[in-house]
């Protein structure tokens, strides 16, 4: 049951190193391979031989977008499962046994763990289909008090989409979807892919019995460069056929 993990560093080598140490500590009983992509040139405090799992370190000659980096990593292995992780994810246990067990369902498209912050507060990583109105409410009306879209209990959720902080796919499904749409630079790739998965009949899942910690940086809230990418990606998504088909499908279901 090989699992390929893809991590991309944007001058975040120290965070990547800590994540690799977490994998070393908690996940060594799995057939795990990790691809670390250095998207922007930086010195890194580790080598591939420093760990007991297979590690490939890729240095891009030119920076790629979120989707381009993870799609390239996916093509480097014939693993059964493909997992993308943010470098600011921290593991406190092995999250993969429960998650891969749920992916035995042939209709499972992607699964994510419950994401909590360093204070153990639940993050809103499972969300409803974004619309311009929902985004206005979230960022300009609710702000830091934004509500979680789905109540969290002990049962697996089926949200509209899960954030690209931690996404685990059956490799056959990721390949069938042709991975992420690389026309998005940094944001909305996860939304777009989840929408395409649902349109193809696959389930989007979040398992609240499994948690990982996320030390969120929120660059789009502080850096105008990232904010610009966020806005452009939003405009691309809201003008796409994927968004309109997903939105109209929800309206149809609500009226039935």
CATH 3.30.930.10 holds for 3-255: no
Whole-number pLDDT of residue 114: 97
Angle at 146 between CA 145 and CA 148, to 5 degrees: 125
What does the chain come to in residues? 256
Whole-number pLDDT of residue 221: 46
The per-residue pLDDT for range 199-230, each reduced to its tens digit, is: 999 999 999 999 999 987 655 445 666 677 78
3-state secondary structure of 114: strand
Where b means 16+ CB within 10 Å and e means fewer, 23-33 reads bbeebeebebb
The per-residue pLDDT for range 24-70, each reduced to its tens digit, is: 999 987 789 999 999 999 999 999 999 999 999 999 999 999 999 99
Distance CA 96, CA 83 (A): 10
How do 108-116 and 54-59 pair as beta strands? unpaired
Phi, psi of 249 (to 5 degrees): -65, -40
Residue whose entry in the numeric block shows the structure tokens 């390929």 = 4
Tokens of 151: 């109540």
Whole-number pLDDT of residue 80: 96
For residue 157, the 8-state DSSP code is B
pTM comes to 0.92
- Find, among 112, 126, 110, the residue nearest to 173 by Cα: 110
């Amino acid at each position: 049951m090989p699992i390929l993990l893809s991590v991309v560093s944007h001058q975040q080598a120290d965070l990547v190193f800590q994540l690799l140490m977490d994998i070393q500590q908690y996940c060594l009983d799995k057939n795990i391979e990790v691809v670390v992509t250095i998207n922007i040139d930086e010195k890194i405090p580790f080598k591939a031989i420093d760990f007991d799992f297979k590690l490939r370190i890729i240095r891009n000659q030119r920076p790629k977008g979120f989707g381009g980096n993870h799609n390239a990593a996916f093509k480097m292995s014939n693993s059964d499962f493909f997992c993308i992780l943010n470098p600011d994810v921290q593991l406190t246990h092995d999250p993969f046994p429960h998650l891969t067990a749920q992916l035995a369902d042939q209709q499972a498209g992607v699964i994510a763990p419950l994401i909590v912050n360093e204070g153990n507060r639940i993050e809103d990583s499972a969300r409803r289909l974004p619309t311009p109105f929902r985004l206005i409410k979230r960022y300009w009306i609710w702000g830091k008090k934004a509500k979680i879209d789905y109540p969290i209990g002990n049962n697996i959720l089926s949200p509209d989409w899960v954030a690209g902080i931690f996404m685990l796919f059956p490799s056959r499904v990721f390949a069938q979807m042709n991975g992420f749409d690389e026309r998005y630079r940094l944001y909305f790739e996860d939304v777009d892919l989840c929408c395409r998965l649902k349109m193809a009949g696959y389930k989007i899942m979040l398992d609240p019995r499994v948690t990982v910690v996320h030390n969120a940086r929120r660059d789009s809230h502080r850096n105008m460069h990232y904010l610009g990418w966020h806005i452009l990606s939003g405009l691309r998504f809201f003008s796409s056929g994927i968004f309109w088909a997903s939105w109209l499908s929800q309206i149809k279901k609500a009226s039935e």
